[in-house]
Structure 1
């Protein structure tokens, strides 16, 4: 089944509530979100239930951390007019779909998710022998499928989670996508398209099913995408009818691979709070300058007159992120010949980082001073998200025979 053609392209992405964000988050996630919000219909959420899978014994900071994180989203430029922003636990439909999917998902599928054993190994000090931890990849699947998202931005280490979601959706559609009156309902939906489009749809469907004409399939899918007179349920039904299958209730999402974050920390390792090597998005310029000026450099360069090797200096990794070719050449020549000192080398990075953070810090003030505005944005996003989630659950319940109306 061609799930990507099942509706307009929709993106779903979330972050665990970790509190204030740093440059690693900005370059690794938020800059990508800023781009996606103008290209797709986006749903961005605070994954507070996912935080409980490993922090179930330390729930106190979750609410404050969530609010701080959303302030940073907004300050970075995520626009609630372009993307729906909400908190996972405030959309209970996620949990209901999770329960329903758990009834038909084989246990072995969860046990083989690579991150399951990897995280248990990394977090050996925690008791992770819980159902919540085993089932969190399926909760992720519910997060995605409840909005019928077609694209999920992930790094390579998370592709397996999207693949699990595809398998879950495929199994669900196989089990429950066979309506007794499927063909009749599909034909009724075709009529809603108007005579001209209905005739074209039937012709393209025949060409694909009888001749294997994939160009006709693609044309028919594009035709359905542009229909304004049919419901989402009818559109899913017609995609299945087009391909000779049942109704596509839960479209299979695709992984939208994002480049790995190239934002190094102050010590040359990956920027992470656990390493204590971060620069926060709202840090004051003086603190940013202090952190960058005290960064370690090439240990072999003891004196100002000693030549250095940029490849052995953490500051050079920051130049790769922030400096243009001309500045990088100046650093290479100046460092290797001792023509410039380490503080000279750091200054362009200091200027670039403080310049990047200035508008973020300025925008953050509006939301810090007006927390009710943040709550209003999240409340509106919650209602928009719930509207979409309820539509999916209506289809899911009906297909599973749980429609008691």
Structure 2
């Protein structure tokens, strides 16, 4: 949607994302992983949803407005970008998902998907899809390293494929409390990017300890970043190493998994799409 003019890396990105999933521990015996573009029903359901979704619904999406401003240097005033929620909805409802793991910033998109479901059901007097509900994790939303919304478009992410030294540099350059000039100045952890990550990588008791030390000026930002990096590295490095092994020695296996998963997905997606076409009376 934002990188449509540069497709040269897509093929490589497929292998990298598969390696990400497996390195993070997804079990292919329990998770069906497939390539969206190999299941054409996604594009067809997206088209049908786009025909019945009011333009005002898409324009009010807060993520759309925010990214238009943040990525003003890119030509993204396209239908593909505006209508992306229709494709997201198709991705979810095509498999009749009841719950979707999302970040807090994606809740408006999921609500929009539910509205599309209600509209389709109302227009064609049918009941095909459940209304998907959010499944929020402990980290409902995590800022980027610069304090803004985390996005590859902003180049403020920490990738699973980044070398450990690159991760260290990113952690050590994270944005902190701008009002804190000296090490012993009282801090404001609620506006600190580093503290947002500390909450994810530490126990509640340790988080309380870090918060109190920051507010009292007993811990400096550099010291806090170093402690955070130790936690991040302990989690990131094993994933990085497993990911590297998959990409260096097991690429055919990754593609085999994708082919098998896409075949399974097509069978389910095809049956669901036929339900939609029958309800719309266009299954000829």
* Same fold? TM cut 0.5: yes
Task: Count how many residue pairs are aligned between Structure 1 and Structure 2.
Answer: 276
The separation in 2 between residues aligned to 1:294 and 1:123, in whole angstroms, is 22
**Structure 1 runs of 4+ with >6 Å offset:** 294-297, 340-343
The separation in 2 between residues aligned to 1:277 and 1:99, in whole angstroms, is 32
Residue 232 of structure 2 is matched in structure 1 by 353
The separation in 2 between residues aligned to 1:139 and 1:360, in whole angstroms, is 30
Alignment partner for residue 393 of structure 1, among 262, 273, 278? 273
Q: Does 1:64 align with 2:12?
A: yes
Q: Does 1:299 align with 2:181?
A: yes
The separation in 1 between residues aligned to 2:232 and 2:69, in whole angstroms, is 36
Residue 9 of structure 1 is matched in structure 2 by none
Tell me the TM-score normalised to structure 2 length: 0.77
The separation in 2 between residues aligned to 1:295 and 1:103, in whole angstroms, is 43
After superposition, residues 149-298 of structure 1 pair within 5 angstroms as 149-177=97-125, 247-258=126-137, 259-262=139-142, 265=145, 273=152, 278-289=157-168, 292=171
Q: Secondary structure, in 3 states, of the residue corresponding to 1:83?
A: coil
Over the residues paired in the alignment, what is the CA RMSD in angstroms?
3.5
Residue 92 of structure 1, CA deviation: 0.3
> 5+ unaligned residues in a row in structure 1: which ranges?
1-52, 178-246, 302-306
Q: Does 1:140 align with 2:88?
A: yes
Distance change (3 Å), C-alpha of 1:272 and 1:386: closer
Alignment partner for residue 245 of structure 2, among 366, 385, 388? 366
C-alpha distance after superposition, 1:295-339 (max 9, x if no partner): 7875313xxxxx35454776555444334435864896599677x
Q: Is the 8 A contact 1:296 1:314 kept in 2?
A: yes
Tell me the TM-score normalised to structure 1 length: 0.57
> 5+ unaligned residues in a row in structure 2: which ranges?
none
The separation in 2 between residues aligned to 1:399 and 1:382, in whole angstroms, is 25
The separation in 1 between residues aligned to 2:45 and 2:21, in whole angstroms, is 27
Q: Does 1:97 align with 2:45?
A: yes
Higher strand share: 1
Residue 277 of structure 1, CA deviation: 5.3
